Amino acid sequence: MEKKNIFLSVLVVSLMICSFFSILFLNIKENKITLFAYPNYSISDDYINEQNKIVLNKVKQLQTLAENYIEENNLSLSVTELCLQYIRKDRYNGSVWNMLLGNIDENFITYVTSQENVPIFQTDEILVDKILKKEIDFIHMMATLNAYVKYGDTVKMGFVSASTDYAGWAGDLMTLLEEVINYRLKNQITDLNALQEYSNSLLGTNSASSFSSSDALADLDALNLYKDLTNDLNLDLYNTLLNYYSINTSSSNSTNRFESARNALGNNEEIIKSNALNLLNNTMIRRMLIPNVSNDITQTDIDIVSQSFANYILEKPYFKFETNTGNITYGEEDISIKFIESHINKLKIGITPYIANIEIKEDNLLIKPISTGNANIQIFNEENNILDTYLLNIKEVPITNFKLSKTEVILNVGDTEIITSIISPENATNKKILWKSEDESIATVKNGIITGIKPGMTNVLAQTDSGNYTSKIKVKVTEEKIPINSINISQKEITLNIDETKTVEYKILPTNATDKKVIFVSSDNKIVSVSAEGKIKGLKEGIADITIKTPDGKIYSNIKVKVSKKEEIKEIKILPDKIFIKEKEIKNLNIEIFPKTLKEPNIIWKTSNENIVKVSETGEITANSLGRATITAQISDTKIFTSIPVYVYNESKIETKCLPYINYNEVNNVVIATIKFKNDNCKIIKGNSYSYSFKNNGTYTFKYEDEKNNKGTIIAKVDWLSEKSINEKQNYTKNILIIFGVLISCFVAGLIIYIKRKNA
């Protein structure tokens, strides 16, 4: 069994290891196949097949170098990513291309040397069949790789855009082939030189490093190779390729390639289309490739390409400002900047910093200043590339003259005066005015509004924000006598008790009256008196009027005051009239006064024995110990009082299931003690009573039993005259100890029997 388990474990582990390496191998293999997919063309010529093998061998060498480089440098790149980066980085310096082309170039040179007397236009198909087909197959393979770039994870590889990089790379491959042909044959076949010169002259360029129409059409040829592989003419890819030339500049003159083509070909659709057709039909690359692809490119395909090329040049928005700098004076009329080209709807424009509103209107950019300073206005194409920049300077319009609408102001306390500023010119940039009062206790100013505070003289200063101009206003504040129009009272009738006081409430109108002094007069000073501040006091029973009037007596109001004798409390009671309270219990006592309509007075609480019952200032009693005490409540500063007895008792201190307790109640000097149970299943033993009447001091024992016939007692005791405590006692018998003893005995007996039997 153990051997079998070991065998199974080894088998499982082996399968896991094999699966792991199989998956790893498949992933590695998939990367290699994806990267270096090679189209399967049937080529009968042994020599061409041999050259194809050389190309594949060179590609495998590159792949091996990439794998070693990744391993040695511990890179987190796939072979695909590294090869793409390496080829793309070094495609111009020759290191990669020499390795890839290798013997192909040497064989090509040998062949050309031996055929130097053959005119190219008579033998171009022979060249293609015998020599260049291997080059075409190589380009087919690289076009497949480009398709991977187009649809692969190009962002991860560091490319800006899959479609743009595809177009550029495919075009570079075709251009490279064209340059190789030109270089190898330039001394033998002058027709190629003439074709290159024609292409350059058409676009106004002088060197092969500048943009050429043949360069663009070489890219179109690369796309047609893609069509040959996919059987799909993709116009989006054509337009993407053309867009490539609108965001790449020529190294020789730093001019946008698209702009160069546009300027050279003009803005005429027929001219652009005609030149495109001419180049498509006569470029050397085209003449070599058309007969040698599996699906010949038709004239319809060429028409589509040339029309697309013409449409793109005409529709692609590429703009410049007529001028690149401008000055605006803030506050003057808005200005507009004209564009060299139109198609405004495809433009994006921004301004930094935001000191003006900008708006495209017709073929102009309308600028509306909102502040002063310098800013850059930039125009962007659809790819967010900056096409042109306009430097904007918005100047400030200074104030040349400043004065105020008044130089002197006279106003009353509380009045206001609005002062306006007069500024020249009207379109001055900064019209802000700073206001200040030399004495704000006399007059204040805010935003040109002067307010009189108190009588006196002061100056208000106004200054432009720039500080260049200052103006002064003399301010005189006078006090206008505003008479009292009315005296409003809140109560027309007031009721007072004798010796009670109140303050009369009144309001003078208008509130800004100059002299608010009033006089208070009582119609009968023996009934009610009044002070100069309006404080009234009831002196004896009766009715009198209080008059509030101005010093001249013209304005007045009357208040009727009724003085009554104060009603006194005749009796108080404590509720309830007697209290039975358990030891340690707390209760609140309530007071009832007569007559009940009067306000409850201040009560002083007392106890006859704090050891038995304690009482607080608010009438809260606490039962401290067993016994009887008297609680007294007395009205402060009077002889009116009342008292009640408080009886303190306790419950049985022996915890039983019955939980008995005794209630005491006194009726006609007879105390009735009644036994109660918190457990409803308990009862008095037969022949006993639930209550007992104490006519004299003494004790009584209540006997009870629970539902299991367990018996107990509780003692009631009354000793009111001596105020001795009421003792309670309970004897409770149980059979628990007996049962426990029996169980112990049984256990010991059983243990002894067991030991004897075991010994026997």
What whole-number distance in Å separates Cα of residue 527 and Cα of residue 509? Answer: 30
Other beta carbons within 10 Å of 640? 17
For the chain, how long is the longest CA-to-CA vector? 161
Reply yes or no on whether the pLDDT at 431 is more than 90. Answer: no
Same domain, 539 and 605: no
> Average pLDDT for residues 706-725, to the nearest whole number?
68
Do 530 and 577 fall within a single domain?
no
Same domain, 424 and 306: no
Arithmetic mean of pLDDT over the chain: 65
Greatest mean pLDDT among 142-146, 155-159, 600-604: 600-604
Report the alpha-carbon distance of residue 504 to residue 508 in Å, rounded.
13
Residues 124 and 180 in one domain: yes
pLDDT (mean) for 329-357: 68
In this predicted structure, the answer to whether residue 251 has a pLDDT above a threshold of 70 is no
Looking at the domain assignment, is residue 749 inside a domain?
no
Residues 437 and 435: their CA atoms lie apart, in Å, by 7
Give the separation between CA 326 and CA 350, rounded to whole angstroms. 16
Number of H helices, E strands in the chain: 16, 40
Task: Identify the band that residue 579 occupies on the pLDDT scale cut at 50, 70 and 90.
Answer: confident
Same domain as 626, residue 548 = no
Q: Is residue 470 located within the same domain as residue 384?
A: no
d(CA 435, CA 456): 19
d(CA 142, CA 96): 13
Angle at 410 between CA 404 and CA 411, to 5 degrees: 115
Helix (H, G, I), strand (E, B) or coil at 199: helix
Average pLDDT over residues 740-752: 59
pLDDT at 280 over 70: no
Burial label, 91 (beta-carbon count in 10 A; 0-12, 13-18, 19+): middle
Burial group, residue 521, by CB count within 10 angstroms (0-12, 13-18, 19+): middle
| Residue 734 confidence (pLDDT) above 70 | no
The verdict on residue 378 lying in a domain is yes
Residue 370 inside a domain? The answer is: yes
Q: Does 365 score more than 60 pLDDT?
A: yes
pLDDT for res 231: 46
Non-local (6+) Cβ contacts of 276 within 8 A are 213, 217, 305, 306, 309, 310
Q: Which of 456, 478, 500 is the last residue of a domain?
A: 478
Residues 593 and 596: their CA atoms lie apart, in Å, by 5
- The Cα 487–Cα 481 span in angstroms is 17
736, part of any domain = no
> Given 315, 333, 359, which residue is the final one in a domain?
315
pLDDT above 70 (res 521): yes
Which string of DSSP letters, residue by residue, matches 309-329?
Answer: HHHHHHHS----BS-SEEEEE
Is the separation of the CB atoms in 608 and 630 below 8 Å?
yes
Evaluate whether residue 412 is within a structural domain: yes
Average pLDDT rounded to a whole number, residues 724-745: 41
Question: Does the structure show a pLDDT above 70 at 492?
Answer: yes
Given a cut of 80, whether residue 691 has pLDDT beyond it is: yes
Pairing of strands 443-446, 486-489: unpaired
Query: How many Cα atoms sit within 13 Å of 408 on the Cβ side?
Result: 2
Q: Which one is predicted more confidently, 559 or 740?
A: 559
> Are residues 590 and 574 in contact, defined by beta-carbon separation less than 8 angstroms?
yes
* Phi, psi at 302, each rounded to 5°: -65, -40
Instruction: Tell me the pLDDT tens digit for each residue of 527-552.
Output: 999 999 999 999 999 999 999 999 98
| Residue 214 CA: distances (Å) to CA of 91, 254, 383 | 20, 19, 25
Please check whether residue 333 is in contact with residue 366, taking contact to mean a CB–CB distance below 8 angstroms.
Answer: no
Let me know if residue 725 belongs to a domain.
no
**Using CA atoms, how far apart are residues 730 and 662, in angstroms rounded to an integer?**
12
The pLDDT of residue 425: 85
Q: What is the pLDDT of residue 606?
A: 93
Across 181-190, average pLDDT: 38
**Alpha-carbon gap, residue 539 to 560, rounded angstroms:** 15
Q: How does pLDDT run across 76-123, given as a tens digit for each residue?
A: 665 544 544 444 343 333 333 343 333 333 443 343 334 333 222 223
Per-residue CA distances from 523 to 487, 530, 532, 547 (Å): 18, 10, 15, 8
pLDDT over 60 (residue 248): no
Give dist(CA 405, CA 614) in Å, integer.
Answer: 85
pLDDT of residue 440: 92
- Same domain (yes/no): 389, 434: no
Does 64 share its domain with 131? yes
Choose between 679 and 528: higher pLDDT: 528
Same domain, yes or no: 474 and 550: no
Instruction: Tell me the mean pLDDT in the region 591-614.
Output: 86
* Count of structural domains within the chain: 5
Do 225 and 84 share a domain, yes or no?
yes
CATH of the domain at 620: 2.60.40.1080
In a domain, residue 34? The reply is: no
By residue range, what is the domain housing residue 502? 486-564
Percentage of the chain beyond pLDDT 70 is 48
Task: At 580, list the tokens.
Answer: 């039975």
Q: Which amino acid is at 200?
A: N
- Is the domain of 473 the same as that of 491? no
Do 224 and 89 have their domain in common? yes
| Residue 749 confidence (pLDDT) | 60
Tell which wins on pLDDT, 426 or 110.
426
Domain annotation covers residue 589: yes
pLDDT band at 307 (very low <50, low <70, confident <90, very high): low
Predicted confidence at residue 503, as pLDDT, reads 92
CA distances from 93 to 69, 145, 161, 176, 575 (A): 20, 20, 23, 12, 115
Residue 631 confidence (pLDDT): 93
Where is pLDDT greater, at 720 or 49?
Answer: 720
Q: Pick the last residue of a domain from 449, 478, 507.
A: 478
Are 54 and 102 contacting, i.e. CB atoms less than 8 angstroms apart? yes
